[in-house]
A and B are shown apart, each in its own frame.
Chain A
């Protein structure tokens, strides 16, 4: 008898697949470790002491719960272009107020606790913008573990403040010179390190992608965003939001916000990819411009040519500059539960400035993509509708990039 309700929250299956996506496409050397990680994660998930330590660190070290904030002046500004009766309320989940300035730390706290449980004594990670690198270096300093961060040489050059932060936190930053020298190449190099050091090394992957169980466990650690937001929204307004909006590179902040709401049929969801210079030019919108393929341990939508060679992505936001996406998003696109759109560099820059001026919040370029999508959709929704966007990072790291694009010398 099958009495299970229909649900979007029962993925992945026991082989780590989200429908046709996900899986464990790794070299044989890594396979036993990936299986061991899955076993240990199951044990940790069932262990109240693990959950208690995770919750305690999130509260006292990260600073959770992050606030839920109604943005009055942004709401008002966007309503100006709306038809009478339209102009939805805009709310933000303030994950940019976390320690280290982004949602990335939620996942790093969870993974380092797993690493310690597994007796691993060395941590590696990849980073693009440097936010995940900083978050990883942070938890490594907190727990006294050596930390090696792989970062493309191009990203090292354009994210100097974060490189220095990682070094201050005691991490070794290794510039990666292969390929286009960005996030994809940093991930290749981290995998090469891992395969050579499987016995003592834990790889803290920064987004909800990679071989199973990473997409699942990163999602679970980031779901604190959506669980808090759901409770906070019910407490403040007595109802659920009408629309959730989040930016997507690999998709960890988005899946963290969306997942706890997936079975609330009345809540619509919008994932925002980076359209870079435009979808007909160089961009990073894997769902809009890619097709399913296999890379970095999972099957998912990828930017690639007809031979399956991976394309270089482009986004003004280094954190979205990746030619793939977490496999659960590929699944949620195909089953239609989440709608996906994209926003260009120029639109994101506009939204960045809009939030600065209307709310006194300098957002990172990643959530600026979400804000740009909110700016398009809010005027089309009724005044009493609620949009909740994930403000997943703060913009301090991006001021140099933004200044350059605005033609300003700092």
Chain B
């Protein structure tokens, strides 16, 4: 069983996102695990994060301003894998940094660093040859995004070739802004689950344990990003404490939701 399958097999999973190279990333990642995160999403900083709201935009700029390189991200991932052999780690980011040295290079680095999956914001199924075959060939999951605009006719194309889990973006918008209505999340998640065996995790705009618990009642996972990234922005290298605290509250809410 893959690490991702195991993580989602235990009941609703808490998926926590932070940006690589922002603050003391290794200590931040450890705090997420200690707090009870089931899956880690590590954001690859990019100069032009056009799907992200202000919180993650700023985190990208802080990270790049501190001189983060792609090699540093893979070093963080490999070190994480050594410290936490069982916790799935997913890289999330934009197409250009992932493909600039060739998709095969990127996929091989992911495999070598123990990365379980990759979420690429701006490679839709129509452009799958850009990255998908290389990841699948290297045994790394390509995790696709479905959104409120992904209708029934389009959903099979999104599911084709994806693995690990499906990331349902609950609002048409950017990260960290408003949350979707619970009714719409329920309806869309159940619609998607009729078409796939993959776990469905829901994200965008989830900030509080209460919101997370509501989603965990209907989905296989809850993704929290901007709220955690804001803590890193606020506390800098002192972020691990506050991160652990918020993660613990979120984990408690998610794990006891059903």
Residues on A close to B: CB < 8 A?
15, 23-33, 178-179, 184-185, 187-188, 191-192, 195-199, 293-297, 302, 304, 306-310
Query: Is B64 among interface residues, defined by CB-CB distance under 8 A?
Result: yes
- Identify 14 residue pairs between A and B in the complex whose beta-carbon atoms are under 8 Å apart, listed by A's number: A24-B127, A27-B51, A28-B124, A32-B154, A188-B48, A191-B50, A195-B51, A196-B171, A196-B174, A293-B99, A294-B130, A296-B48, A302-B96, A308-B98
What separation, in Å, do the CA atoms of A188 and B43 have in the docked complex? 18
Tell me if B158 counts as interface (CB < 8 A to partner A): yes
Q: Which of B139-172 contact A (CB under 8 A)?
A: 144-151, 154, 158, 169, 171-172
Contact B145 A307 (CB under 8 A): no
Q: How far is the CA of A199 from the CA of B151 in the complex (A)?
A: 14
Q: Which residues on B sit within 8 Å (CB–CB) of A306?
A: 100
Q: Are A307 and B97 in contact (CB under 8 A)?
A: yes
A29 touches B172 (CB 8 A): yes
- B173 near A295 (CB under 8 angstroms)? no
Determine whether the beta carbon of A195 is less than 8 Å from that of B173: yes
Question: Quick one: which of B61, B70, B95, B149 contacts A29, CB cutoff 8 A?
Answer: B149
Q: Contacts of B57 on A, CB cut-off 8 Å?
A: 178
Provide the residues of chain B in CB contact with A179, threshold 8 Å: 47-48, 61
In the bound complex, CA of A309 to CA of B71 (Å): 13
A192 cross-chain contacts in B, Cβ below 8 A: 50-51, 53, 174
Chain A: which residue is nearest B71 at the CB level? A307
Chain B interface extent, by class: 35 or more
Contacts of A27 in B (CB 8 A): 50-51, 121-122, 124, 145, 147
Q: How far does the Cβ of A16 sit from chain B's closest Cβ, in whole Å?
A: 8
Bound-complex Cα distance A187 to B34 (A)? 39
Residue A293 contacts which of B69, B100, B150, B151 (CB distance < 8 angstroms)?
Answer: B100
Is B50's CB under 8 angstroms from A188's CB?
yes
Report yes or no: B122 in contact with A297, Cβ–Cβ below 8 A.
Answer: yes
Residue B177, interface by CB 8 Å: yes
Q: Which residue of B lies closest to A24 (CB)?
A: B126
Cross-interface CB contact of A28 among B61, B64, B169, cutoff 8 Å: B169
Interface-central residue, A26, A31, A306, by most chain B CB under 10 Å? A31
Interface string of B33-54 (1 = CB under 8 A from A): 0000000000000111111010
Question: Is B123 close to A, CB under 8 A?
Answer: yes
Q: Find out whether the CB atom of A32 lies under 8 angstroms from the CB atom of B145.
A: no
Across the interface, which residues of B come within 8 angstroms of A187, CB to CB?
50
In the complex, are the beta carbons of B174 and A198 less than 8 A apart?
A: no
Question: Least Cβ distance of B62 to chain A in Å?
Answer: 13
**Is A198 a contact of B149 with CB atoms below 8 Å?**
yes
Q: Give Cα A247 to B117, complex, Å.
A: 43
Report A-chain residues with C-beta under 8 Å of the C-beta of B126: 15, 23-24, 31
Q: Nearest Cβ distance between residue A27 and chain B, in whole angstroms?
A: 5
**CB distance A309 to B122 under 8 Å?**
no
Judge whether B50 and A307 touch: CB under 8 Å.
no
Q: Which B residues are in CB contact (< 8 Å) with A294?
A: 94-96, 99, 122, 130
A32–B173 contact, CB under 8 A? Answer: no
CB distance from B247 to the nearest CB of A (A): 27
Residues of A within 8 Å of B48, CB to CB, are: 179, 184-185, 188, 295-296, 310
Cα(A80)–Cα(B46), bound, Å: 51
Alpha-carbon separation in the docked complex, A122 to B233 (Å): 35
Residues of B with C-beta under 8 A to A185: 48
User: Across the two chains, which residue of chain A brings its CB closest to B120?
Assistant: A25
- Would you list which residues of chain B between 84 and 124 have a CB under 8 Å from chain A? 94-100, 121-124
Is B99's CB under 8 angstroms from A196's CB? no
Indicate whether A25 sits within 8 Å of B122 (C-beta atoms), given known contacts A198-B149, A294-B96: yes
* Cβ–Cβ contact A28 & B145, under 8 A: yes
With a cutoff of 8 Å between Cβ atoms, the chain A residues found around residue B173 in the complex are 29, 195-196
A295 to B50, CA, bound (A): 10
Q: List the B side residues contacting A191 at CB < 8 Å.
A: 50-51
How many angstroms between the C-alpha atoms of A23 and B147 in the bound complex?
A: 20
Interface residues of B in 5-50 (CB under 8 A from A): 46-50
Is A28's CB under 8 angstroms from B150's CB? yes
State the CA gap A184–B61 with chains docked (Å). 15
Residues of the B chain whose Cβ atoms lie less than 8 Å from the Cβ of A25: 95, 122-124, 127, 130
Q: Are A309 and B97 in contact (CB under 8 A)?
A: yes
- B96 pairs with A196, CB closer than 8 A: no
Residue of A nearest to B171 (CB): A196
- By beta carbon, the residue of chain A nearest B98 is A308
- Which residue, of A26, A188, A192, has the highest number of chain B Cβ atoms within 10 A? A192
Further contacts, 11 of them, CB under 8 A, given A32-B149, A184-B48, A306-B100: A27-B124, A28-B145, A29-B149, A31-B149, A31-B154, A178-B57, A196-B177, A198-B149, A294-B130, A308-B99, A309-B47
Nearest CB in chain A: distance from B153 CB, A: 9
Known: A31-B126, A32-B154. A296 touches B147 (CB 8 A): no
Q: Is the CB of A32 within 8 A of B174?
A: no
Instruction: Give, as a whole number of angstroms, the nearest-CB distance from A203 to chain B.
Output: 12
Q: Which A residues touch B46, using CB under 8 A?
A: 308-309
Q: How many angstroms from the CA of A179 to the CA of B51 in the assembled complex?
A: 14
- Contact across chains for B127 and A308 when beta carbons are under 8 A apart: no
In the bound complex, what is the Cα–Cα distance between A23 and B129 (angstroms)?
11
Counting from the closest, the 5 A-B pairs by CB-CB distance are A308-B100, A196-B173, A308-B96, A308-B97, A294-B95
CA distance A122 to B170 in the complex (A): 23
| A28-B149 contact, Cβ under 8 Å, with A307-B97, A309-B97 | yes
Taking a contact as CB atoms under 8 Å apart, the answer to whether B169 and A304 are in contact is: no
Contact partner of B146 (CB less than 8 A), chosen from A15, A24, A28, A310, is A28
Contacts of A199 in B (CB 8 A): 172
Bound-complex Cα distance A297 to B130 (A): 13
Write out the residue numbers on chain B whose beta carbons fall within 8 Å of the beta carbon of A195: 51, 172-174
| Shortest beta-carbon distance from A136 to chain B in Å | 19
> Given the complex, which residues of B lie within 8 Å of A178, measured CB to CB?
57, 61
- Looking at the assembled complex, report how far the CB atom of B33 sits from the nearest CB atom of chain A, in whole angstroms: 27
Q: Looking at B96, B151, B158, which has the most chain A CB atoms within 10 Å of its CB?
A: B96
